Structure 1
Amino acid sequence: MSVPTQTEMDLIVLKLMLDGEKRTRAQAKEAIRQQLGLSEEDCSLKTSSGVRVYESRVGWSVSYLSRAEMLHAVKRGLYEVTDFGRACAEQYTDAKAFYYFLKKTIAERNPWKHGGNESEAQTSKEENEAEQTGQEGEVSPQEQIDAAFTQLNDDLQEALLQSILEKDPTFFEQLVVDLLVKMGYGQGRPTQVSNDGGIDGIIATDALGFDPIYVQAKRYAPGNTVGRPELQGFAGALGSISRGVFITTSSFAKSAVEWASHYPHATLVLVDGKRLTELMVQYDLGVSTERVYRIKRLDGDYFGDE
């Protein structure tokens, strides 16, 4: 079966603990894996930050249930079900209904809450928003952070591409050279615009200029794909040079990609607009860091958790 949503996992973990066993988080994760019969593919599913999805959801469920006093830590990092937890497990069979009850219980038992009415109003508001979006409780907080990070990067990449398209071709030629230099391929320079012979930039990979990389940059609108003829022209301009990089703001036709992969006289690397902006973000070209968030977790070694 597929990995349960965060909403489903909360009730699954609580019912698992009804057997009276005391479990650490790690033991709960393994027990859930076996109980659900998760496949290797299911277990290998990770968030964009590399966290295993099912482990993240089980871990957060243990935290939620503990905060709601449905689980009790008999010692550091070792949990068992409480009488209140047993009663809740017997009362609820619907995962979504239990999820909202769990959130409400956590809010009511929060020692820093500002009063029951406000807590109930907030819970009601969240339930209404959940019904409208259909996404509340589907994923763990870790997955929400990763998804937000991905969305921010996607938006940034779109803004980068639009900014490049608003500049002239000469700016783009300098940009691709700057990128390859930042990536560590060597020192680079754009060629003379009036006499470039189809080559827009040259990267010298060593001090004496042996085995350089030739670069061609095409600032095309997204719908204007680069075809096989453009790549053949670039390959002809390489002459005896064995490495070339063709970078465009648009994309490559399938026939062009296939031709380049089988070209016998040089290694041709193709970089489309999506990959270009990914590399710009990765190597900090044309972008700056606005804010850094440090995500911290409980130090299990310090507190003796397994």
Structure 2
Amino acid sequence: METVTKKVWSPSTEQVCEIELPAESIVETALLELDYPVGGLHKRKIAEALAERFSLTDEQTNAKLKSENGPRAFNFHVGKVTGTLIRSGKMMKTKSGRRDINREQVSEEIGVSKQDSDDSRNTPEKSIERNYQLIRRELATELLQKIKNNTPTFFEKLVIDLLFKMGYGGSREDAQAVGRSGDGGIDGIIKADPLGLNVVYIQAKRWEGNVGAPPVRDFVGALDGEGVQDGIFITTSDFNPAAKEFAERSSKRVILINGSQLARYMIDHNVGVSVEKTYEIKRVDSDYFTENAEDS
């Protein structure tokens, strides 16, 4: 990996020293390949993700510019490259101040690059698929914004509607009734099967920041208090690592659904969306021509 040398202040030695960081071209490629959730990532989260990707040491990630009061050298390095990408149009700032990739421009450039290097990899079908995925991501962003602009009661109803479409709830009447229960720290109770042999408790939170372990712990406690084994915790934001780890290690079966997953499920199960256009891709039916040739 190509690197650059930076003069920094080391917190561990409390002295000025030199460290190696990934070159700007390497950081740029990593930024464009990063998996951005719907709504983008905070710049600190981007730096953390890249530090993990490059397997940087604590010395490399914690070193400061110029003095102990300066910014982290690696974060500043990533921010500088991010700024260049924003000015070029490949990345953008969201309204909430996060950073996101400009998928339309990057997709176009990738398409042109692939066509120049290998025309067979840039077929019309692949172009359609690429643009289809772009439309889905833009739709997902719009859906989450609509949810955040609505009421908590609406969000709880939306969650019930979605789970019903996914096969939970028995009858729609049952699903709507449990969606209005919302007591004991539980926002909804829905049947796990048509006969209602098992139930699933639901927690639905419209949060801006990531959900930590305490709310998930409280939810698991509510399940335990009701003698229920299964729960679904849904948020419009995301879950931090501690929350995910707690859910995985819990004795209960708890599914965590973040904003990106929620929007994808809504699109896949036609909740809050409608079909605008449908394109059919057809091919030659070789059997038709073979059978008719044999008959003649």
2:200, 2:115 → 1: CA distance?
50
Structure 1 residues 156 and 207: alpha-carbon distance in aligned structure 2, compared to 1, 3 A threshold = closer
Verify: 1:280 aligned to 2:266, yes or no: yes
Q: Tell me if structure 1 keeps the 8 A contact 2:160–2:188.
A: yes
Q: Equivalent residue for 1:25?
A: none
Letter in 2 for 1:217: A
Q: Equivalent residue for 2:75?
A: none
Choose the corresponding residue for 2:239, options 231, 248, 252.
Answer: 252
TM normalised by structure 1 equals: 0.52
Verify: 1:302 aligned to 2:288, yes or no: yes
Shift of 1:131: 9.6
Q: Equivalent residue for 1:183?
A: 166
1:146, 1:166 → 2: CA distance?
30
SS of structure 2 residue aligned to 1:260: helix
SS of structure 2 residue aligned to 1:268: strand
Q: Equivalent residue for 1:171?
A: 154
Q: Any idea what the Cα deviations from partners look like across 1:91-147, whole Å, max 9, x if unmatched? A: xxxxxxxxxxxxxxxxxxxxxxxxxxxxxxxxxxxxxxx999844725111110100
Tell me which structure has the larger Cα radius of gyration: 1
1:287, 1:134 → 2: CA distance?
32
Verify: 1:156 aligned to 2:139, yes or no: yes
SS of structure 1 residue aligned to 2:239: coil
SS of structure 1 residue aligned to 2:190: strand
Contiguous gaps of at least 5 residues in structure 2: 1-107, 117-121, 292-296
Structure 1 residues 144 and 191: alpha-carbon distance in aligned structure 2, compared to 1, 3 A threshold = same
Shift of 1:302: 2.2
| Bigger shift: residues 159-168 or 138-147 | 138-147
Q: Equivalent residue for 2:36?
A: none
Letter in 1 for 2:265: L
Q: 5 Å matches for 1:51-90?
A: none
The higher-RCO structure (CA 8 Å, 6+ apart) is: 1
Verify: 1:232 aligned to 2:217, yes or no: yes
Shift of 1:259: 1.0
SS of structure 2 residue aligned to 1:215: strand
SS of structure 2 residue aligned to 1:269: strand
Q: Any idea what the Cα deviations from partners look like across 1:215-263, whole Å, max 9, x if unmatched? A: 0000012xx0011001001011112100000000000001111110110
Contiguous gaps of at least 5 residues in structure 1: 1-129
Number of matched pairs: 171
Structure 1 residues 131 and 150: alpha-carbon distance in aligned structure 2, compared to 1, 3 A threshold = closer
Q: Which consecutive aligned stretches of 4+ in structure 1 deviate over 6 angstroms post-superposition? A: 130-133
Q: Tell me if structure 1 keeps the 8 A contact 2:267–2:273.
A: yes
